[in-house]
Amino acid sequence: MRRLFDDELAELDADFTEMGMLVSGVIRRAVDAFLERDAAAAQQIIDEDHKINEREIALEKKTFEMIALYQPVTSDLREIVTILKAVSDLERAGDHARNIAHSTIKMGQKQKVSELEQLMAKMGQMTTQTVEDVITAYVNKDDHEARSLADVDRQLDHLNHQVRSESYKDMRQDATFETGASIYLNVAQDLSRIGDYVTNVCEWIIYLRSGQIVELNSASEGTES
Amino acid sequence: MTTKEILTTQDLHLYYGSNEALKGINLSFEEKGITALIGPSGCGKSTYLRTLNRMNDLIPGVTITGTAEFKGEDLYAPNADTVQIRKEIGMVFQQPNPFPFSIYDNVIYGLRIAGERDKEKLDAVVEKSLRQAAVWDEVKDHLHESALALSGGQQQRVCIARVLAVSPEIILLDEPTSALDPVSSSQIEATLLNLRQDYTIIIVTHNLQQASRIADRTAFFMNGELVEVDQTKNIFMNPANKQTEDYISGRFG
DSSP letter at A38 equals -
- Helices A178-210, A74-107: crossing angle, 10 deg rounding: 170
- Helices A4-36, A114-139: crossing angle, 10 deg rounding: 170
Residues B160, B162, B164, B170, CA torsion sign: negative
The structural domain count of chain A equals: 1
Q: Å from B203 to nearest chain A CA?
A: 20
Domain with A16, as residue range(s), is 4-210
Among A48, A53, A56, A50, smallest CA distance to A15 is for A56
Asked if the model's pLDDT at residue A223 lies above 50, the reply is: no
A176: in domain? yes
- Chain B residue with CA closest to A71: the answer is B209
Asked if the model's pLDDT at residue A221 lies above 70, the reply is: no
The region of weakest confidence among A30-34, A69-73, A172-176, A196-200 is A172-176
- With a CB-CB cutoff of 8 Å, which residues 223-252 of chain B face chain A? 236-239, 245, 248-252
In A109-177, where does DSSP find H-type helix?
A: 114-139, 143-173
Q: Å from A17 to nearest chain B CA?
A: 24
What does pTM read for this prediction? 0.85
Mode of pairing for the β-strands spanning B33-38 and B19-30: unpaired
Pick from B209, B249, B252: CB nearest A76 = B249
| Interface predicted TM-score (ipTM) over 0.85 | no
pLDDT, tens only, A95-130: 999 999 999 999 988 778 889 999 999 999 999 999
Confidence tier at A175 by pLDDT (50, 70, 90):
confident
Q: HEC states along B163-187?
A: HHCCCCCEEEEECCCCCCCHHHHHH
pLDDT, tens only, B95-136: 999 999 999 999 999 999 889 999 999 999 999 999 999 999
A224: in domain? no
Q: How far, in Å, CA of A78 to CA of A216, rounded? A: 18
Looking at the complex, does the CB of residue A72 fall below 8 Å from at least one CB of chain B? yes
Instruction: Sort residue B229 into left (φ over 0), alpha (ψ -120 to 50) or beta.
Output: beta
In chain B, which residues have their Cβ closer than 8 Å to the Cβ of A77? 237
Among B165, B191, B166, smallest CA distance to B176 is for B191
A48: in domain? yes
A181: in domain? yes
Mode of pairing for the β-strands spanning B200-204 and B217-222: unpaired
For chain B, list the domains and their CATH numbers.
5-97+168-248 (3.40.50.300)
Q: How far, in Å, CA of A53 to CA of A95, rounded? A: 9
Inter-chain contacts counted by CB atoms under 8 A, chains A and B? 29
Contact A74 B208 (CB under 8 A): no
- Contact, A82 vs A213, CB < 8 A? no
Contact A76 B252 (CB under 8 A): no
A51: in domain? yes
In chain A, which residues have their Cβ closer than 8 Å to the Cβ of B237? 73-74, 77-78, 211
Length of chain B (residues): 253
HSE of B140, CA atoms in CB hemisphere, 13 A: 12
Residues B13, B19, B21, B24, CA torsion sign: positive
Pick from A3, A71, A211: CB nearest B251 = A3
Pick from B208, B237, B249: CB nearest A211 = B237
Question: What confidence score (pLDDT) does residue B253 get?
Answer: 62
Amino acid at B164: L
pLDDT, tens only, B172-223: 999 999 999 999 999 999 999 999 999 999 999 999 999 999 999 999 999 9
Cβ neighbours of residue A112 closer than 8 Å, sequence gap 6 or more? A37
Rounded mean pLDDT of B222-239? 96
HSE of A49, CA atoms in CB hemisphere, 13 A: 20
A222: in domain? no
- Chain B residue with CA closest to A207: the answer is B238
Question: Where residue A85 sits, what CATH number does that domain have?
Answer: 1.20.58.220
Question: What confidence score (pLDDT) does residue A110 get?
Answer: 79
A47: in domain? yes
Confidence tier at B3 by pLDDT (50, 70, 90):
low
A55: in domain? yes
Looking at the complex, does the CB of residue A219 fall below 8 Å from at least one CB of chain B? no
Question: What confidence score (pLDDT) does residue B165 get?
Answer: 97
